[in-house]
């Protein structure tokens, strides 16, 4: 089951800019209880997290953290600000130091790796978020596919294009290790079987 956005008739669909989204948060119109994220101007419900999803998050967190070289920050389940979206991926690896993000979220040019842990949101993460991240030029995008027990690695983003996304997909199965690539350099590897059980 993928994330569901109930479309309204075109004349009634409300598209929000990032500034309006931030204003709704600042004014308390949207709170942490709302469980939404802004995707291409639309407020999209976040899917509930089941035990396999939480297990993958819990297992991946320390493995990514120990591989990060100096000058990179790991943010679990925090927002990234794109021109028309503010998704909250499972993990963001951004260039900088912790203090750089005390008053703002990372932006695409600072991101080296985005990770979505996907079960009920798999179709959405492979389409809508894939498109947002590819358009933003995020160099590496992982989909930790707990349904099919693999990690899908998307590289070579199109950037802004008529049909944005990624040109390359490589799948890693249990028994394989996924390279953690930041700015073209392999910082280490993560074994699929240590993340998806």
The CATH architecture annotation of domain 48-195 reads Alpha-Beta Complex (3.90)
Q: What percent of the chain has pLDDT over 90?
A: 86
Residue 130: CB atoms within 10 A of its CB come to 21
The per-residue pLDDT for range 108-117, each reduced to its tens digit, is 999 999 999 9
**Sign of the torsion angle spanned by Cα atoms 95, 97, 99, 102:** positive
**158 φ, ψ (degrees, to nearest 5):** -75, -25
Tens digits of residue pLDDT in 66-106: 999 999 999 999 999 999 999 999 999 999 999 999 999 99
Distance CA 10, CA 8 (A): 6
């Amino acid at each position: 089951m993928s994330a569901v956005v109930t479309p309204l008739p075109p004349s009634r669909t409300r598209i929000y800019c990032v500034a309006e989204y931030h204003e709704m948060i600042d004014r308390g119109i949207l709170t942490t209880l709302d469980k939404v994220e802004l995707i291409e101007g639309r407020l999209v419900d976040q899917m509930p997290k089941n035990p396999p999803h939480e297990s993958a998050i819990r297992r991946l967190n320390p493995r990514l953290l120990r591989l990060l070289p100096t000058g990179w920050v790991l943010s679990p389940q925090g927002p990234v600000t794109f021109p028309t979206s503010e998704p909250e991926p499972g993990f963001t690896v951004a260039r900088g130091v912790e203090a750089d993000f005390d008053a703002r979220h990372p932006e695409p040019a600072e991101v080296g790796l985005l990770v979505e842990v996907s079960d009920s949101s798999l179709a959405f993460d492979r389409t809508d978020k894939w498109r947002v991240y590819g358009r933003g030029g995020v160099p590496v995008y992982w989909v930790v596919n707990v349904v099919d027990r693999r990690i899908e690695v998307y590289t070579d983003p199109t950037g802004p294009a008529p049909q944005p996304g990624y040109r390359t997909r490589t799948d890693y199965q249990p028994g394989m290790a996924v390279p953690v690539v930041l700015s073209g350099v392999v910082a280490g590897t993560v074994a699929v079987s240590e993340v998806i059980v």
